[in-house]
Structure 1
Amino acid sequence: MSVTITKTAGRAVEITWAPEDDPHGYLARAVEGDQLAYALEALGDGASLTEYSVDAALQAAMHTKALAKELDRRAAKQVVTLREQHGLSWGQIATVVLDDAARQSAVRRMYESGLRHLGR
């Protein structure tokens, strides 16, 4: 994928991608629909959330959760790839993805979820 993040000055960045990297428009929607902005704000501790009105705070939470849900689906598909194409063990995947080799059953659930999202 040719998504690039370039630090331009101080804490400013520029994110670019090619149209073929986003055939379903997920990246564009995350940017245009403010999901990415709200999620990054939450990642930065969401301090300004207290300055929002109730409606704006609800919007921020909704957008952050929507992006997190989409990323969970993507991570599940990546687990399928790690297992099927790269032949990694459940323990190896659990160590890297969940930071705990003992969480192999959780990784298997992610794998099963990934298969469902792939239509298999």
Structure 2
Amino acid sequence: MSVTITTTGPGRAEITWTEDDDPKGYIARAVESDQLAYALEALGGGESGPATPETALFAAMHTATLERLLERRAAVQVVKLRDDHGLSWRQIAAALYDDPEKQSSVRRMYDSGRRHLGV
């Protein structure tokens, strides 16, 4: 993986990537639009939160937008795990859900990933 995250100090990190890592510009847009910042803030569960209802709504919108994109990209990864690497539904379910019995959830992701790929 050539996307790298380097810890530069307590509470600080630097993210680097190349154009080859981001041919569709998803990473760049997530950084430039503050989607990544809002999602990381939500992940951290900061107690203060946004100062106004408008800011809180804006933060939630950006977090949800990035979440939907990540869901689509994860579905495409499931297609590659199954089709390119030949992993079983059970193997994928165990990795994604820590439960090999969740094969139907993985199959739904697979179908979604194929739709996103236009297959």
Q: Same fold (TM over 0.5)?
A: yes
Aligned to 2:6: 6
The aligned runs of 1:17-96 (5 Å cut-off) are 17-49=17-49, 51-96=50-95
Unaligned runs of 5+ in 1: none
- Equivalent residues, number: 119
Q: CA deviation at 1:9?
A: 1.0
How many angstroms apart in 2 are the aligned matches of 1:112 and 1:46?
36
How many angstroms apart in 1 are the aligned matches of 2:20 and 2:78?
23
TM-score, with length taken from structure 1: 0.95
Unaligned runs of 5+ in 2: none
Aligned to 1:119: 118
Deviation larger for 40-49 or 25-34: 40-49
Cα RMSD (Å): 0.9
How many angstroms apart in 1 are the aligned matches of 2:75 and 2:68?
11
User: Is 1:107–2:90 an aligned residue pair?
Assistant: no
The CA deviation string for residues 24-66 of structure 1, in whole angstroms up to 9 with x for no partner, is: 11101000000000000000014232x4200000000000000
How many angstroms apart in 1 are the aligned matches of 2:20 and 2:89?
32
Identity of aligned residues (%): 63
TM-score, with length taken from structure 2: 0.96
